[in-house]
Structure 1
Amino acid sequence: MIYQSDALSVARLDGDFAELRFDLAGESVNKFNQATVVDLTAALDALEAEQGLRGLLVTSGKPVFIVGADITEFTELFGAGADDIAGFTGANNANFNRLQALPFPSVVAINGYAMGGGLEVCLACDFRVMASAAKVGLPETKLGILPGWGGTARLPRIIGVDEAVTWITTGAEQRADAALKAGAVDAVVEAEALRDAALQMLGDAADGSLDYAERRAAKESPLPMNDTEAMMAFFTMKAMVGQQAGKNYPAPMKVVEVIEEARGMGLEDALAVEARGFAELATTPQAAALVGIFLGDQYLSKQARGWEKQADRKIGRAAVLGAGIMGGGIAYQSAYKGIPIKMKDIAQEGLDLGLSEAGKLLSKRVARGRMTPEKMGEVLSSIDPMLSYEGFDQVDIVVEAVVENPKVKHAVLAETEKQITDDTILASNTSTISISYLAEALARPQNFCGMHFFNPVHAMPLVEVIRGEKSSDAAIARTVAYANRMGKKPVVVKDCPGFLVNRVLFPYFDGFSKLLRDGADFQAVDKVMEKWGWPMGPAYLTDVVGIDTGVHAAGVMAEGFPDRMKLDFKTATEVMFENDRLGQKNGKGFYDYIPDKRGKPKKTPSDTAYELIAPVCGERREFERDDIIARMMLPMATELARCLEENIVGSAAEADMALVYGIGFPPFRGGVFRWLDTVGLPWLAEQSEKFADLGKGYELTEGMKAKLAAGETYY
């Protein structure tokens, strides 16, 4: 053994080769934490001192190669200065430069995933062999940063500027066939042949059959572009990346700027440009927010796995009651993820609609090459449409997704309970009705909970799993396990009007209603909130959700929290509802919706809408952008704080992720609580005082006041 540590080892092989093997002790995957970086430095010292070596094989002792840097260590960077950040990137850059400059060739065998720093160490090697099922990529822009260990310098010099910019700015995973076609790897083989193929290539390089010196020269030289080519290429790239990324996500554009600035430089200078770009991005609020999202997602998954481990039996078969758009979406998602499902309705028309919904979604996958027609047939055949309860005594969970009416749900749930075993879980996909109230119709309320999907089911990641007063841990555990198997992001919340997401969404809508009452133009409000980062403004969102749905839910919320959600004026949304303007579902709401050439509804300003709401709106006037944002966001923030203080949700991270995954809260802001930490509670207190006349929803909670007084933050 040439070198051994907890992170990696270097061993001598036959033929005067050495093997550098990454195998981080106590972890299921390899990652570049600070200890690994230090150990790699020591391993390179040992390699350089070893006599008579002809080549180096780089491998992983894990099922994956290296998943990248240890993101948990990133959070320390955001408050650090440029010097500390440079130290973070500098040590491993020195390692990779030394690896590239070894006096003998190197070949890396890529298995599983080589992401971020995992791919960057591969780029420093002379040759790359990849397992056919492996994936590579540089996902750093998804964290608001850019590759900091040579990715922006080496990748363009290996696969060309256009391809490298696409890889890095999108942060997408690349399959083996795509990596081979781009020239990022030199060979693709089946996993069982990976080591032998890499050793064969290493032997060829050591014998002089493969020229590794030429490859090193290319990586160390300026990009082969003249000024005219560069000007045209980078102008086009900036236009394309700027349009796709937008102004709220600076990392992709910074990638293009870094590569352009370094195009005429050698490797060392290019790495210096990259380091400056990395440091600049690492100190932005977007990076802190997006890394927070990544860590929040990991925390969410950990919580869900914890619940799943408590499940006393697996979910092997499911059923859904109600075969409309929502029921069909649930059936599709369950079947697509390999869980056979019965889909029951009281009418054949409903079943036809549900099957049609599932068929449309599957057909799209086939059309995009993501599924074979044979697989589509298998998935569809695992959806069992029925008008009776036949076989319900053999399912593990039943999701009720009938009309949002308490009496109807009571009747359906009570009837269904008689058709299932004493051990089957019954869950309601309600968006507003109390789970404890619905449980009153049941003989076994301990087996009942909420399972609130968001529309459209196939696209929205979040599932709220709602614990009623009598819901057992077993019911929650099995329901979370089912959501996990469906590929969803479950968040366990306590029962209350609107649960978590709708409870905090409707104060946001109330802020919108008060703005219109006071003379704001709903299109202007939409534009401000969309520029702030929401995928759609409140008027557009109301139309998409459905104005009838919104009015019904607003009534539930007003009854549940009359002190802050019962409005003393008629809203513009209510006027829309009274005039049968229901939003996208019937082509008219705050906007008109006219089908475009593809048949998709296109949002169009509506004079009729303005005429109808005029009697309930004040005289039109302009509002300051910051005032619109504060009036919209303050009620949402205070209500979410109440939910945390009342233990409706378990943590700030779960609350933030629920809003990101459930209603599209801007990821680059990291969630409401991370946004509050960014703007500061003193600012929030100022806004609360400024808009105190708008009602209790604008008052800071007791918990917020305590944090403000103590100078504390949510994270």
Structure 2
Amino acid sequence: MTTPTSIRTGSAPILAKDHVLRLEDIGDGHLAVTLLSTEDGGPFVLGRDAMDMIAQVLDHIGGDRDVRGLLFCSEHPSVFCAGADVDAMAKVKNANEAREAVREGQELFEQLAHFPAPTVALIHGACIGGGLELALACQARAATPDPKTKLGLPEIKLGIIPAWGGSSRLPRLIGLSAAVPLITAGKLVNAKTALRLGMVDGVVPRELLVREGLEFARKLRKGEPVRRLRRGIGQKLLEGTPPGRALFTSTARRAVRKATKGHYPAPEAALDVMTRGITQRMPESLELERDAVVPLLETAAHQNLLRIFHMTRDSRRPEVYGSGKNAPLPSETCVIGGGVMGAGIVALLIGKGFNVRLVDPDEGALSRAWKGVKKEIERRVRRGDLNPAEGKMRLARLSVSTAVNGLRRTDLVIEAAPERLDLKHVILKQVSAAVPESAIIATNTSSFPIGDLALAVSDPSRFIGLHFFNPPGRMPLLEVIRGEHTSDSAVARGLRLALALGKTPIVVCDGPGFLVNRLLGPYFVEAGRLAEEGVPIPLVDEAVWRFGMPMGPFRLMDEVGLDIIVDASSHVGDRGEYEHKAPPLVERLVEQKKLGKKTGEGFFRYAKGRRRGKKTGPTCARLLKELGTQSSGTDHDLQSIANRLMGRMVAEARRIIGEDLVLSGEDVDIGTIFGIGFPPFRGGLLQWAETTAHPERRS
């Protein structure tokens, strides 16, 4: 493929614009539009310059009969198109300006959809939001099976809907029953799933994308379908008849309301546009998109979700943390401890391309960890997230050992042993002697202060905390803990690793419980007080769930393990500065060996990993009576219960800020959203506290 800076089609020159796009003649009347990376290597974004340039290309070559096909591709190694310019979205001043911006995007993609020659999107890497709307406006799409190739319309996660034609074109392409869950949940799918759903027409290696695109263009010119999709009789009846659509719509609406708890208006708005728009002509359907998205741009949910997007994007830029921009990544890593957390960290590391040695003196633990990692890789291969060759390569990156040796070329060691101070000291002394002086030594401790552990490290300047959350592969937050003697370089390298692992990092200075666990301490204590005051435990959990949290405090303690709650609270609470001592009811349950989900009973009862009913377990009910606690028998206001619990975390968060343990209040909001599950539509713990008038929330 040639790469001229300009070509002549007909009588009009089309110029390539630096860092926007390039138009290339690939022979036989076919042109390729290459979406370029930014100056700093970032992905192509549909900003004003990009939209204008695409429009210019379509205007100049649209009337040229010699053009036999137009192919869209990207030069970025992992992103086809990152979607709309979110920064520009944040600058929209009023509803009229928003409506005009939406209309311009719709008109551009309508122009593309009616381009006289065949158009094909060749997708390698992430194709999301406006990027997928561009691809949907093409007549055909091909994608690569690479794990980096993901397709979806995640606008819902910003509190809006796909409004450049995505809410109209995707249901028409793959049907309502497939499009509705994708759009209302903002799901991303891999190429294999996209092919099955009909979002793409072919999946081929990147080296064959252009060849596949040319074949698609040939078929389209001859009026042949690039692929024949058949819909079952059930789908036809459900989506193709008024009674069927009415039934589908009501069922989908109930599912959306259950998932959002009524807190997020965008999913229901998207459902309304899709179910109404599919029965109308395209212009009317696009108008429905405009009418729905403009009011959503003014909602508090959108503003808070947009704020979260910018906060997490900023934390994903290592340069905001000083020397992090140029900090080196490790090539050889080691994880000490083959338990649940250790195995999870190992799976995460090898999945991101790092070589890992897993060390545990217990051969049984090593075997379980290795088999668990292998099982997860096999599951992902079956789902199509990985091809078999990549699965084998991941497992080949993992080696195991029962001894801390052979680490002279290791750049990073993460200690993930059980939470015993004496054991961690022994391990860290061994590691200090075994690794080169340039290596970073990290601990995944969730409770011991970094300063206490640093006593066992020969050079504490290279010692940091990397506090992953369980399960490490799914939880997005990573607390990077700076000890008293930790160097800026070590922190920068920790941040660089966090970003390479796809995590949202925050820097926390050393202190009891760091950020997340310190906030959870008083939250759990206050929940215990409510129970002691006679508020039914299921009611407390329901109040927090309705507030928007994924689960209440008692269910959360059961999930974590009550023994772990008691152990962690002792490490923090024993210092006498903070009110973190586990509630008496928790300690009594631990004495009775009722540790929560893992033992089948805690505050609630469990069977096969699932909670059995919403009533408290029999042991908990008995202990409440023994503690002299009985239901007050009065009505309890759910909002007041939630306010009281959140208020305790707010008070603790302000103490943390006052002690300069985090860089800013935004770190608290990031930590509570991605580490605790604080509802994103509320903007984070402190954002919620600052934007409410209820005195309980400001306590």
| CA distance 1:602–1:176, shift in 2 (3 Å) | same
Report the equivalent of 1:396: 411
Q: In the superposition, relative to structure 1, how do residues 21 and 488 fare at CA in structure 2: closer, same or farther (>3 Å)?
A: closer
Deviation of 1:650 after TM superposition, in Å, equals 2.0
Q: Measure the CA separation in 1 of the matches of 2:115 and 2:497.
A: 51
Any residues of structure 2 matched to 1:199-238 within 5 Å, and which? 199=214, 201-202=216-217, 205=220, 209=223, 225-238=240-253
Write the deviation string for residues 452-478 of structure 1: whole angstroms up to 9, x where unpaired: 222233332322221111112233233
Query: Contact conserved, 1:572 with 1:616, CA < 8 A, in 2?
Result: no
| Alpha carbons 1:53, 1:104 under 8 Å: kept | no
The answer for the alignment partner of 1:535 in structure 2 is 550
Residue in 2 aligned with 1:414? 429
Q: 2:481–2:509: 8 Å Cα contact kept in structure 1?
A: yes
Structure 1 pair 158–514 and aligned structure 2 pair: CA distance change class (3 A): same
1:328 matched to 2:339: no
Matched, 1:90 2:103: yes
Matched letter for residue 270 of structure 1: S
Do structure 1's residue 142 and structure 2's residue 151 form an aligned pair? Answer: no
1:69 paired to 2:81: no
Deviation string, structure 1 residues 258-315 (Cα, Å, up to 9, x no partner)? 1222233211111111111212333333323333333333222213896785676542
Contact 2:123 2:143 in 1 (8 A): yes
Q: Secondary structure at the match of 2:551?
A: coil
Q: Quote how far apart the aligned CAs of 1:540 are.
A: 1.0
Residue 387 (str. 1) matches residue 402 (str. 2): yes
Aligned-pair CA distance for 1:484? 4.3
Aligned residue for 1:591? Answer: 604
Equivalent residue for 1:648? 661
Residue 610 of structure 1: which of 621, 626, 639 is its match?
A: 621
1:687 equivalent among 665, 671, 696: 696
Which residue is 1:706 aligned to? none
What residue in structure 2 maps to residue 631 of structure 1? 644
For residue 523 of structure 1, the aligned residue among 538, 545, 559 is 538
- Flag the 1:553–1:183 CA change in 2: closer, same or farther, 3 A: closer
Give the conservation status (yes or no) of the 8 Å contact 1:304–1:490. no
Assess if the C-alpha contact under 8 Å between 2:171 and 2:278 holds in 1.
no
CA RMSD of aligned residues (A): 3.6
Determine the structure 1 residue equivalent to 2:292.
277
The one-character-per-residue Cα deviations of 1:498-532 (angstroms, maximum 9, x if unpaired) are 11111112122222123223321111000110121
Structure 1 residue runs without a partner (length 5+): 213-222, 690-697, 699-715
What do the CA deviations read for 1:591-614 (whole angstroms, capped 9, x no partner)? Answer: 222x23xx6565663133122134
Distance 1:366 1:43 in 2: 40
Change (3 A) 1:336 1:182: closer
Distance (whole Å) between structure 2 residues aligned to residue 339 and residue 202 of structure 1: 40
Change (3 A) 1:330 1:53: closer
Q: Which residue in the other structure is 1:158 paired with?
A: 173
Residues 546/157 of structure 1: CA separation in 2 closer, same or farther (3 Å cut)? closer
Q: Which stretch shows the higher mean deviation, 36-45 or 572-581?
A: 36-45
Which position in structure 1 is the counterpart of 2:233? Answer: none
Q: Secondary structure at the match of 2:172?
A: helix
SS at the partner of 1:490?
A: strand
Taking the aligned partners of 2:37 and 2:375, their CA distance within structure 1 comes to 45
SS at match of 1:320: strand
Separation (CA, whole Å) in 2 of partners of 1:566 and 1:132: 49
CA, structure 1 residues 34+637, in 2 after alignment: closer, same or farther (shift >3 Å)?
farther
| Inter-CA distance 412–8: structure 2 relative to 1 (3 Å threshold) | closer
Q: Output the CA distance in 2 between the equivalents of 1:608 and 1:548.
A: 16
- Of residues 551, 567, 586, the one that matches 1:573 is 586
Contact 2:380 2:386 in 1 (8 A): yes
Q: 1:427 to 1:108 in 2, by over 3 A?
A: closer
Q: In the superposition, relative to structure 1, how do residues 95 and 484 fare at CA in structure 2: closer, same or farther (>3 Å)?
A: closer
Which amino acid counterpart does residue 623 of structure 2 have in structure 1? L
Q: Distance in 2 between matches of 1:400 and 1:670?
A: 33
> How many equivalent residue pairs?
668
Please identify, of 248-257 and 361-370, the stretch whose mean Cα deviation from structure 2 is larger. Answer: 361-370
How far did 1:407 drift?
3.5
1:149 offset after TM fit, Å?
A: 0.8
Shift of residue 122, structure 1, vs aligned partner:
2.9
The CA deviation at 1:584 is 2.3
- Match of residue 59 from structure 1: 72
Give the AA of the match of 1:551: V
Q: Distance between the aligned counterparts of 2:669 and 2:532, measured in 1?
A: 30
| Residue 476 of structure 2 corresponds to residue 464 of structure 1 | no
Q: 1:358 to 1:52 in 2, by over 3 A?
A: closer
Instruction: Write the letter of the residue equivalent to 1:420.
Output: V
Q: Which residue of 1 aligns with 2:315?
A: 300
Among candidates 35, 42, 45, match of residue 31 of structure 1: 45
The one-letter amino acid of 1:687's match is: E
Deviations 1:374-399 (A, max 9, x none): 86666556544433333134422222
- TM-score normalised to the size of structure 1? 0.82
* Higher alpha-carbon deviation: 498-507 or 478-487: 478-487
1:546 aligned partner: 561
Distance in structure 1 (CA, Å) of the matches to 2:212 and 2:670: 43
CA distance in structure 1 between the aligned counterparts of 2:663 and 2:141, rounded to whole angstroms: 45
Structure-2 change in CA distance of 1:619 and 1:121 (3 Å): closer
Q: 1:555 and 2:570 equivalent?
A: yes
Amino acid at match of 1:146: I
Instruction: Give the aligned residue type for 1:287.
Output: H
Shift in CA distance, 362/44, structure 1 to aligned 2, threshold 3 Å = closer
Q: Is the 8 A contact 2:119 2:139 kept in 1?
A: yes
How far off its partner does 1:72 sit? Answer: 1.9
SS of corresponding position for 1:295: helix
Q: Which runs of 5+ in 2 are unaligned?
A: 1-7, 227-237
Distance 1:334 1:660 in 2: 23
Aligned pair in 2 of structure 1 residues 635, 419: CA closer, same or farther (>3 Å)? Answer: same
TM-score by length of 2: 0.84
Q: Identity over aligned residues, as a percent? A: 30
Deviation digits for residues 116-168 of structure 1, max 9, x if unmatched?
A: 22222333334445455554322222322211111122222233332332432
Kindly provide the amino acid, as one letter, of the partner of residue 532 in structure 2. R
Distance in structure 2 (CA, Å) of the matches to 1:537 and 1:346: 38
**Given that residues 528 and 583 in structure 2 are in contact (C-alpha distance below 8 angstroms), is that contact kept between their aligned partners in structure 1?**
no
Give the stretch that moved more between structures: 435-444 or 264-273: 435-444
Deviations 1:381-435 (A, max 9, x none): 6544433333134422222223323344334323442333333322222112111
Query: 1:421 & 1:61 partners in 2: Cα distance?
Result: 41
Deviation at 1:533, TM superposition (A): 1.6
The alpha-carbon deviation at position 328 of structure 1 amounts to 3.2
SS in 2 for 1:565: coil
Shift of 1:75: 2.4
Compared with structure 1, are the counterparts of its residues 159 and 351 closer, same or farther at alpha carbon in structure 2 (3 Å cutoff)? Answer: closer
